[in-house]
Amino acid sequence: MNTARAELGAVRLEELRFDNRYGRLPQDFYTRLSPTPLPAPYLVAFNPAAADLIGLAYAEAARAEFTEIFCGNRLLPGFDPLAAVYAGHQFGVFVPQLGDGRAILLGEAAGAQGRWDLQLKGAGKTPYSRMGDGRAVLRSSIREYLASEAMHALGIPTTRALAIVGSDQPVIRENIESAAVLTRMAPSHVRFGSFELFSSRRQYEHVANLADHVIDAHYPQLREAEQPCLELLREVIARTAKLVAQWQAVGFCHGVMNTDNMSILGLTIDYGPYGFIEGFDWNHVCNHSDDGGRYAYNMQPGIAHWNLYCLAQALLPLIEVEEAESVLGEYEAQFERHYSALMRAKLGLATEHADDAALMQETLALLHQARADYTTFFRRLGNFDPAPGADNAPLRELFAQRDAFAAWTARYRGRLALEASADPERKARMNRVNPKYVLRNYLAETAIRKAADQRDYSEIERLMRLLARPYDEQPAMQAYAEAAPQWASTLAVSCSS
């Protein structure tokens, strides 16, 4: 791993400065406890880009103390470890108490790029573990580490990942796996369910305490508003609408959009059974545990709206029903505005026309009918030749239904004729918004198997370098843009992933 370069002003571990504003909330919000020691830990992965966020020198990752600290075996001065409690709607059913069952917040580290929660995921049992063991496994830790950084490179708001620390300690899931601890970073880990907990308990003073904390720490511009809590809801609605539009445009499926997995900052959080759509299917369900398809790809925008209603319900002690309903009514228009703009850009359209929505739907219907690879189609579309009679073979070969493809081609060619841009300019624009590389499940699985079976972490590092530049051609990495091989057809991810 690249730990040689240290930025000017980067600090040693002992020089990091910590605070914990969440820990200054009343004690009903959390339980203070220390992580459970992890036996014989070893460093699996370190992310210099995340270290930059808190100003940590890269060379610190080579120290034994780094591994001990970021598995929870040793606490730095200023750490204030705690597990937060929250509630949530899980698959539509309200669960009155959930919480950090395997995650412990160490505190906030301040860097040149703001204040970042450092949270150890897999740090042992907490009072909110229910029947769980409080541990994460290497498999799920690698998946989250890779996904959060891949999403960041795609420009999608997300938690970040600093490091993975492994151990040979056995952990029982569907099979016996090895333990790991992921250091997750975010400006805040407050969720919709954090508000739901206290509202459901009729602890309305705590709903107000939490709203004040979120506004003061993360939305200070709202403090001067006539109704700060109403404006907080409006801001969360706006951020969530934009986030889910970005998910849909890139073909990302979250898999478990419970309200306890929805960030109050509009971040992608809690990567479990996620996936990027390959063969396009409107109804794709990436979570093997989701028997009813509640969190299917085409359901995500509506589920986000439903979750926002749950948040608004929790905030009703602080805002009027009619006002909450009014701002909730803004969601659909905001989602459509962001999604339409993103899809127009993916299609290479710099101008807006009345029938663009129909073209977008026809494009997705064509992909759905053919189960064409979503990422590959849009990347190749940049090379589309609009000349009459042009073959466009690299694109055409994605479709067995040649007549349907020909009809769509004629429609698309006509729409491009309304654009003033030249083809090279259009291609350059499209390649800036249509990634060539996404984290396909089989790519993550390859890295996981090498790490688990051989203690070879080189594929994690290779994927991190690749996915940091998803829009670049990277000719030496062409194989990573290909569709999944046959052996990957049986891969499935579930809530334990």
Q: What is the pLDDT of residues 29-38, one digit of tens each?
A: 999 999 999 9
pLDDT tier at 8 (50, 70, 90 boundaries)?
A: low
At 153 the pLDDT is: 98
Residue 386 pLDDT exceeds 70: yes
Rounded to an integer, the average pLDDT of 446-469 is 98
Tens of pLDDT along 89-137?
999 999 999 999 999 999 999 888 899 999 999 999 999 998 889 999 9
Rounded to an integer, the average pLDDT of 262-290 is 96
Whole-angstrom Cα distance, residue 322 to residue 316? Answer: 10
Whole-angstrom Cα distance, residue 87 to residue 203? Answer: 13
Give percent above pLDDT 90 in the chain: 93
Whole-angstrom Cα distance, residue 406 to residue 393? Answer: 11
At 254 the pLDDT is: 98
Tens of pLDDT along 281-334?
999 999 999 999 999 999 999 999 999 999 999 999 999 999 999 999 999 999
Rounded to an integer, the average pLDDT of 2-9 is 51
Give percent above pLDDT 70 in the chain: 98
At 280 the pLDDT is: 97
Residue 440 pLDDT exceeds 80: yes
Rounded to an integer, the average pLDDT of 73-102 is 97
Strands 82-84 and 88-90: unpaired
Tens of pLDDT along 163-211?
999 999 999 988 899 999 999 999 999 999 999 999 999 999 999 999 9
**Alpha helices by DSSP H, 101-253:** 138-153, 192-200, 204-218, 228-250
At 70 the pLDDT is: 98
Whole-angstrom Cα distance, residue 133 to residue 102? Answer: 8
Tens of pLDDT along 328-383?
999 999 999 999 999 999 999 999 999 999 999 999 999 999 999 999 999 999 99
Residue 6 pLDDT exceeds 70: no
At 5 the pLDDT is: 45
At 248 the pLDDT is: 98
Residue 425: HSE in the Cβ half-sphere, 13 Å Cα cutoff: 7
Average pLDDT, the chain: 95
Catalytic residues: 260
At 242 the pLDDT is: 98
At 496 the pLDDT is: 67
Tokens read off for 45: 């992965």
Tell me how many degrees the CA angle 197-201-205 measures, rounded to the nearest 5.
85
pLDDT tier at 489 (50, 70, 90 boundaries)?
A: confident
At 1 the pLDDT is: 47
